[in-house]
């Protein structure tokens, strides 16, 4: 139907509400229409991973789901658990006539099985619409499924000439209030935040979310430290690849140049948040240390601009790592 794209897009937008709060479960979105095409229920995976989006939306819809349509950003799960029936069963039981799915669930316990169960119950199923949008919204879960590690975002705040500080280390402030507030919203969308040992020793940053109403969304603090030493309440990561064992599917790296370079060298950065102030610094501290680049040709076709905006007087650009498959 012509309206499928709009409704599925709204469903994926709903899914983003759970970003950074549902691991190890995916942050899914669900919208249920009644038989007349009116919205009867909306749901998204709740903090901690339950209830699932479908359960929330179907509970809202109640009997109105009968003969209606459910939109889901991810294939409904097909594995019943001690905590209740799986979402495929819930959908079958609700009496919906049709289900529109953005993305197949790569989890081996579901992978196609959710759709198969729906079809076996006589429900019409459409799969594979708006896949790219759904992938972006659930990047944390998908990265964990595919690469067994969190989705990694590297934040850089620089001058136009790429410096993160003056030679004496002073960096307060390069970017303005709007950019800093945006960076705090980004923190709220991550379970984990990481800095290097040098930044920890030098700045002792709080790394919390200093926005009204979002203080409880501060991510768990981690430090990259070869010795494994970390302040109380912090987690230590001895090598970049050790992030695989961190609890959470979204990791934000906030500094400094050595730490950023360590993750880039191992190709463990999926997304760049590049905040740039309209200033020139000159001989300052560079944003990145050595990332092992030898031939300029190897630097190309790795990053794609996916978002940009003005955060006056600064600019934000978001780049994502292009990966095969």
54, 113, 186, 254: the active-site residue: 54
Residue 296 near its own copies by CB under 8 A:
yes
Instruction: For residues 141 and 156, give the distance between their C-alpha atoms in angstroms, rounded to a whole number.
Output: 24
Residue 173 near its own copies by CB under 8 A:
yes
Helix (H) or strand (E) holding 274: strand 271-276
Judged by beta carbon, residue 79 or residue 304, the one nearer its own copies is 304
Residue 307 near its own copies by CB under 8 A:
no
Site size for its own copies, by CB under 8 A? 47
- Tokens representing 30 are 């669900």
Instruction: For residues 90 and 53, give the distance between their C-alpha atoms in angstroms, rounded to a whole number.
Output: 11
Q: Which stretch binds its own copies (CB under 8 A): 59-67, 120-128, 199-207, 292-300?
A: 292-300
Judged by beta carbon, residue 6 or residue 280, the one nearer its own copies is 280
Judged by beta carbon, residue 70 or residue 164, the one nearer its own copies is 164
- Tokens representing 112 are 């196609």
Instruction: For residues 61 and 50, give the distance between their C-alpha atoms in angstroms, rounded to a whole number.
Output: 18
Instruction: For residues 259 and 303, give the distance between their C-alpha atoms in angstroms, rounded to a whole number.
Output: 19
Applying CB under 8 A, which of residues 85, 293, 307, 309 lies at the interface with its own copies? 293
Instruction: For residues 165 and 113, give the distance between their C-alpha atoms in angstroms, rounded to a whole number.
Output: 52
Judged by beta carbon, residue 121 or residue 279, the one nearer its own copies is 279
Judged by beta carbon, residue 294 or residue 324, the one nearer its own copies is 294
* Smallest distance, its own copies to C-beta of residue 197, A: 19
* Smallest distance, its own copies to C-beta of residue 57, A: 39
Pairing of the two strands 151-158 and 271-276: parallel
- Tokens representing 136 are 């972006």
Instruction: For residues 231 and 23, give the distance between their C-alpha atoms in angstroms, rounded to a whole number.
Output: 24
Q: Which stretch binds its own copies (CB under 8 A): 11-19, 94-102, 168-176, 187-195?
A: 168-176
Compute φ and ψ for 73, nearest 5 degrees: -75, -20
Residue 72: strand pairing partners? 30, 101
Applying CB under 8 A, which of residues 124, 211, 244, 299 lies at the interface with its own copies? 299
Residue 171 near its own copies by CB under 8 A:
yes
Instruction: For residues 160 and 55, give the distance between their C-alpha atoms in angstroms, rounded to a whole number.
Output: 48
Instruction: For residues 146 and 193, give the distance between their C-alpha atoms in angstroms, rounded to a whole number.
Output: 21
Residue 309 near its own copies by CB under 8 A:
no
Residue 142 near its own copies by CB under 8 A:
no
Judged by beta carbon, residue 64 or residue 276, the one nearer its own copies is 276
Residue 212 near its own copies by CB under 8 A:
no
Residue 115 near its own copies by CB under 8 A:
no
* 3-state secondary structure at position 227: coil
Residue 153 near its own copies by CB under 8 A:
no
Applying CB under 8 A, which of residues 81, 170, 241, 245 lies at the interface with its own copies? 170
Q: Are 316 and 179 in contact (CB under 8 A)?
A: yes
Known catalytic residue at 54:
yes
Residue 192: strand pairing partners? 220, 251
Residue 166 near its own copies by CB under 8 A:
yes
Residue 203 burial (C-beta neighbours within 10 Å; 0-12, 13-18, 19+): middle
Applying CB under 8 A, which of residues 105, 110, 287, 316 lies at the interface with its own copies? 287
Residue 277 near its own copies by CB under 8 A:
yes
Question: Binding residues for its own copies, per CB under 8 A?
Answer: 156, 158-163, 166, 170-174, 261, 264, 272, 274, 277-284, 286-294, 296, 299-305, 310, 313, 315, 317, 319
Q: Which residues are catalytic?
A: 54
């Amino acid at each position: 139907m012509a309206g499928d794209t709009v409704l599925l897009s709204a469903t994926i937008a709903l899914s983003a509400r759970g970003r950074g709060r549902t691991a190890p479960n995916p942050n899914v979105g669900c919208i249920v229409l009644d038989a007349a095409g009116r919205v009867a229920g909306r749901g998204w995976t709740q903090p901690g991973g339950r209830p699932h989006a479908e359960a929330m939306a179907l509970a809202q819809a109640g009997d109105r789901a009968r003969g209606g349509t459910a939109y889901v950003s991810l294939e409904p799960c097909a594995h019943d658990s001690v905590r209740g029936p799986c979402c495929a069963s819930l959908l079958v039981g609700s009496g919906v006539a049709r289900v529109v799915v953005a993305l197949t669930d790569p989890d081996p316990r579901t992978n196609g099985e959710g759709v198969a169960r729906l079809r076996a119950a006589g429900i019409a199923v459409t799969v594979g619409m708006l896949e790219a949008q759904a992938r972006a919204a659930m990047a944390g879960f998908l990265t964990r499924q595919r690469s067994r590690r969190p989705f990694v975002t590297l934040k850089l705040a620089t001058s136009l000439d790429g410096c993160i500080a003056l030679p004496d280390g002073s960096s307060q402030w390069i970017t303005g209030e709007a950019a800093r507030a945006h960076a705090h919203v980004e923190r709220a969308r991550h379970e984990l935040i990481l800095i290097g040992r040098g930044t920890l020793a030098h700045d002792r940053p709080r790394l919390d979310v200093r926005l009204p109403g979002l203080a409880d969304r501060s991510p768990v603090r981690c430090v990259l430290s070869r010795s494994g030493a970390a302040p109380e309440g912090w987690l230590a990561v001895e090598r970049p690849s050790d992030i695989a064992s961190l609890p959470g599917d979204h990791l934000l790296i906030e500094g400094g140049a050595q730490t950023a370079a360590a993750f880039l060298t191992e190709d463990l950065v999926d997304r760049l948040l590049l905040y740039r102030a309209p200033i020139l610094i000159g001989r300052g501290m560079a944003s990145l240390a050595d990332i092992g680049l030898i031939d300029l040709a190897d630097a190309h076709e790795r990053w794609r601009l996916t978002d940009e905006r003005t955060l006056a007087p600064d600019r934000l650009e978001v780049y994502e790592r292009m990966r095969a498959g």
